[in-house]
Amino acid sequence: MPRPRLRDETKPDTAGLLKILWRTLPELWRSSPLLVTLLGLMALIGGVIPAVTLLISKWAVDGVSEVAAGGETNLALLAGAWAGAALLGQLTGVARQVLQGYAADNFTVQTSRRLMDKMNDLPGLEVLEDPRFHDDIQILQMGAPRRPLNLTATILGLLATAVSLLSVAGVLLTVGWWVPLVVVLGMIPLTLTQMRLYELGWSMTIQNTQASRELNYFQKAALNHGYAKEIRLYGLMPYLTHEYTERTLDYQRTMRGVRNKQLIGVLPAQILALAVTAGVFAYAVWQAQLGNLTPGAVVLVIGALSQVRGQLQELADSLGVGSEHLHWFGKYYEFLDAVPSVAVPAEPLPLPQRFDLTLDGVTFGYQGHAPVIENLSLHIPQGQTVAIVGENGAGKSTLVKLLLRFYDPSQGRILLGGAGEQVDLRDVDPQAWRSQVAAVFQDYARFEWDVRQNVLLGQEEDAPRLQYAADASGLTAMLPRLESGMNTRIGQAYGGVDLSGGQWQKLVTARALYRDARVLILDEPTAALDPRSEAEVFRTFAELSRGRTAVLVTHRLGSVRMADRIIVMNAGRITEDGTHEELLAAGGEYAELWALQARQYSESRDWLEREPDPASLLSSD
Ligand SMILES: Nc1ncnc2c1ncn2[C@@H]1O[C@H](COP(=O)(O)OP(=O)(O)OP(=O)(O)O)[C@@H](O)[C@H]1O
């Protein structure tokens, strides 16, 4: 299975950028067809107005000369035409700004939606754990609100500028066929230099994203509420400040170098452009002195020269800025085209009748790491309650994530279904399978919404079911302590309250219970609960798991006795498998862990019951 490739280290050249533009134009048009068509028309109209104005100016100056020489010219008509053209220019300009805003808004929403839809099409987690992905997603996230908007403005601006440039250059033909050619050729180096420098700026952005992400992390950590206790306790702030400052200064030094290069780099090309403009201007004046050009033509040349200069400058800026936007869109398409390693099958098989779970020689390692599950085989018949225990890092949570198909095994298969109807998890729609599973993860999501939304997670509210989930999880009992009960907003950032670890755990248990699922997975659901709440959650779990397939990962051995079967994992393998009594009798790791926990309980009970002797508390042995 090919790994998703989100980062193209070879950045697109001009042909690549044109390809990206070619793909973007229809996208832009699709986001608001009528608006974009109208805007295109307006850009065309706005584009020819400068040339028309120049011509009218020429005719007016020549007309004035004619009148001065005793001839006749309708100067009022020319003045009216000039004012009309200027007014049309103003009006199309304003209308363009307004409509462009609407079109850009639509394009922005469409682009962001595509990003989120693509995220939804990535059913696995692997892609999110790739550090290169963080860089790309940061670029995409930061650019999503502004790149589509800016590109829309740039494309329309480019269209108007190109039309303007062509029409004004056309007007210059009246002075000499070579004049527009020389003017444009003389200014092309400026355009190219500017574009190259913009390119440099973009590549710096890319190269520095990891660096800027890291340096920002130091600042974020320093200001983050969640880290505040450790930072104060361990006096971490000077370290964070030092790291942040050093890294930022380093980063700024690099960026300053790029900026200076950008500014100085354009100077020679600017001087050439200026020389060409001055040369053509001198030529026009000389020709007028010889009587080859009318005063109106000189005015036209002066106006056209400054127009062409301005427009080429604009073209260079737009092409440079536009190429940055296109680079962003290049990343965006790379992301949209990324092939997820955990893929939704083109033609998913229906879910089987029975939900027996079978792992058949499964091996799995996280991206770039050694296997953490090795050749593991396990059969969990439908309806069985299985507790998985084992030391830290044994692979228990990884096994749970594999069961939910957040990853695919690198070897072996995970099968779903009873005999004769088994399907490989890879062949069913992951969303269909997950909708049958309720799970409480160790690192559950703490959405900063209200309590109700945190339980419902986007599902329709069913009052009796919500009541049941809240009662069974212990959530109901804690609601009176929250100011607005179920409607209490969580998260200080939005003026809400903070929940304790145990309160959160009750809430996420309610979240799982609200889902009417056939498979129940609880990964350390009681780590932060007080003993009474813990007992309550296990009692509910026992009740709920009746008739359902249930997997419970826990270190609390006292609670695993009620499981039909206990599995002990060690270094990615199953080392023991049986009931509580069987495993105790076997005298293996489980029995050892059980004895250890039992001894801890009895020792602390003895210790508590003993009359405290201050000397024994202070002695070192
Ligand atoms: N996303 C990840 N990327 C890389 N390695 C990971 C990732 N998640 C877990 N691991 C590694 O996989 C191994 C198994 O982790 P896992 O979380 O499955 O263990 P566990 O048995 O659930 O441990 P615990 O009892 O501490 O929760 C560990 O060595 C861990 O460092």
pLDDT digits (tens, 9 = 90+) for 312-368: 778 878 887 888 899 899 999 988 888 877 888 889 999 999 999 999 999 999 988
Mutate which of 392, 444, 522 for ligand 1? The one with the most ligand atoms within 8 Å of its CB, which is 392
Q: Which residue's CA is the closest to the ligand 1 atom numbered 18?
A: 395
Q: Where are the alpha helices (DSSP H) in 290-353?
A: 295-337
Among 79-83, 197-201, 390-394, name the one with the lowest average pLDDT: 197-201
User: For the domain 357-609, what is the CATH superfamily, name and number?
Assistant: P-loop containing nucleotide triphosphate hydrolases (3.40.50.300)
Mean pLDDT calculated for residue range 563-579 = 94
CATH 3.40.50.300 spans which residues of the chain? 357-609
Q: What is the mean pLDDT of the chain?
A: 85
- Mean of the pLDDT values across residues 293-314? 86
The percentage of the chain sitting over the pLDDT mark of 70, rounded to a whole number, equals 92
Structure tokens at 572: 């990615």
The pLDDT tens digits for 91-138 are: 999 999 999 999 999 999 999 999 899 888 888 887 777 766 677 887
Q: Give Cα separations from 581 to 147, 564, 565 (angstroms).
A: 64, 11, 10
Amino acid at 472: A
Residue with more model confidence, 114 or 603:
114
Q: d(Cα 110, Cα 28) in Å, to the nearest integer?
A: 9
Which pLDDT tens digit goes with each residue over 19-41? Answer: 999 999 999 999 999 999 999 99
Per-residue tokens: 243: 């790291």
Longest dimension (CA), the chain: 126
Kindly state if the Cβ of 370 falls inside 6 Å of ligand 1: no
Instruction: Please tell me the number of Cα atoms within 13 Å of 97 on its side-chain side.
Output: 5
For residues 407 and 402, what is the distance between their CA atoms, to the nearest angstrom? 5
> 549-573: b or e for each residue (b if 16 or more CB lie within 10 Å)?
bbbbbbbbbebbeebebbbbbeebe
**ipTM field:** 0.97
Tell whether ligand 1 has an atom less than 6 A from the beta carbon of residue 129.
yes
Q: Name the CATH topology of 14-337.
A: ABC transporter transmembrane region fold (1.20.1560)
Out of 193-202, 268-277, 351-360, which region has the weakest mean confidence (pLDDT)?
A: 193-202
**DSSP code for 304:** H
Task: State pTM to two decimals.
Answer: 0.72
392 within ligand 1 shell (Cβ under 6 A):
yes
Q: Is the CB of 443 under 6 A from ligand 1?
A: no
- Tell me the C-alpha distance between 133 and 145, whole Å: 19
What confidence tens digit (pLDDT) does each residue in 544-561 have? 777 789 999 988 887 788
The closest residue, in CA terms, to atom 25 on ligand 1 is 392
C-beta of 401 in contact with ligand 1 (< 6 A): no
Q: How much of the chain, in percent, has pLDDT values that exceed 90? A: 38
Is the CB–ligand 1 distance for residue 396 below 6 Å? yes
Q: Is 72 helix (H, G, I), strand (E, B) or coil?
A: coil
Residue nearest to ligand 1 atom 4, measured at CA: 366
- For residues 531 and 542, is the Cβ–Cβ distance under 8 A? no
Mean pLDDT on 43-53: 91
Confidence category of residue 501, pLDDT binned at 50, 70, 90: confident
Rounded distance between C-alpha atoms, residue 384 and residue 567, angstroms: 12
User: How does DSSP assign 339-350, residue by residue?
Assistant: --SSPPPSSPBP
* Residue range(s) in the chain whose domain bears CATH number 1.20.1560.10: 14-337
Give DSSP secondary structure letters for 451-519.
HHHHHHTTSPP-HHHHHHHHHHHTHHHHGGGSTTGGG-BB-GGGT-BPPPHHHHHHHHHHHHHHS--SE
For residue 372, how far is its CA from the centre of ligand 1 (angstroms)? 8
